[in-house]
């Protein structure tokens, strides 16, 4: 069965420090992988996605993620964190399903809450 | 067990027809969200509600309507004005964070809507 694991529930970093949020997935074929961010009082916003090709994916707000098939991981990174990055981050994997046509159902991790210290 | 329930799992719509997707939660959550997912794309926010009797448009609200008459329920109506309704629809809910806790986002299992 497909699954997504985000092992860190809470992470606190200092402003200006580097950040890495971990994501591991379980999937039988090449996955579609996503990172979302949810700021307080807001809906989910897509940061970046991986479908195929270059395993290092660039996203919005200075984030990047690297797909490592051998480790079944898709960790999110940012070289220098800003106070406005404090939010909850969700990793998700897309599973192909057929209803008379291909579509995707996302399976989400439980999220990692990022706090940023001044 | 507490959770969030979407129904039906599969739904077919005829041309010009309005259809309503159900989303119910028994988690006592204030905030509820509707997202749409198209093949190969991420989630897009349709509508969200932070509290009963109040809701706001998301990024792609045109052709959709919602109501929030009860805390537990946030139904989404896909109207005939939505010209491309075929997609996977995901409902989510979240409680109000407190100083001591952060309420997690809970997702329903989704509804696949297709046009006949």
pLDDT in tens, B25-54: 998 988 899 999 887 667 788 999 988 999
Burial annotation A78-113 (CB, 10 A radius, 16+ → b, else e): beebeeebbbbbbbbbbbeeeeeeebbbbbbbebbb
- Chain A contact for B114, CB < 8 A? yes
Of B38, B41, B102, the CB nearest to A113: B102
pLDDT, position A38: 84
Q: Which residue of chain A is at minimal alpha-carbon distance from B37?
A: A104
Of B40, B45, B86, the CB nearest to A51: B40
With beta carbons less than 8 A apart as the criterion, state whether A111 and A88 touch.
Answer: yes
Q: What is the radius of gyration, based on Cα positions, of chain B?
A: 14
% of chain A with per-residue pLDDT over 70: 87
With beta carbons less than 8 A apart as the criterion, state whether B47 and B56 touch.
Answer: yes
Closest residue by Cα to residue A61 from A50, A45, A74, A75: A45
What tens digit of pLDDT does each residue of A48-74 get?
Answer: 988 778 899 999 999 999 999 999 999
Instruction: With beta carbons under 8 A apart, name residues in chain A contacting B90.
Output: 106
Question: Quick one: tokens of A45?
Answer: 């916003």
């Amino acid at each position: 069965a497909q699954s997504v694991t985000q092992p860190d529930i809470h992470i606190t970093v200092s402003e200006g420090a580097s950040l890495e949020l971990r994501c591991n997935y379980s999937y039988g074929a090449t996955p579609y992988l996503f990172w979302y961010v949810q700021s307080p009082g807001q809906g989910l916003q897509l940061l970046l996605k991986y479908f195929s090709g270059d395993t290092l994916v660039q996203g919005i707000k200075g984030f990047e993620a690297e797909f490592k098939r051998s480790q079944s991981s898709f960790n999110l990174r940012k070289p220098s964190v800003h106070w406005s990055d404090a939010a909850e981050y969700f990793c998700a994997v897309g599973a192909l399903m057929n209803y008379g046509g291909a579509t995707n159902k996302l399976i989400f991790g439980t999220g990692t809450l990022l706090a940023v210290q001044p | 067990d507490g959770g969030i329930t979407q129904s039906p799992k599969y739904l077919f719509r005829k041309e010009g027809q309005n259809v309503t997707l159900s989303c119910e939660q028994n988690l006592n959550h204030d905030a509820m969200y509707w997202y749409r997912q198209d093949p190969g794309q991420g989630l897009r926010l349709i509508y969200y509600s932070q509290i009963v009797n109040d809701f706001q448009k998301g990024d792609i609200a045109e052709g959709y309507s919602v109501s929030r008459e009860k805390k537990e329920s946030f139904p989404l109506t896909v109207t005939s004005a939505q010209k491309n309704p075929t997609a996977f629809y995901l409902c989510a809910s979240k409680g109000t964070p407190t100083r001591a806790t952060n309420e997690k986002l809970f997702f329903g299992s989704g509804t696949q809507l297709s046009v006949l």
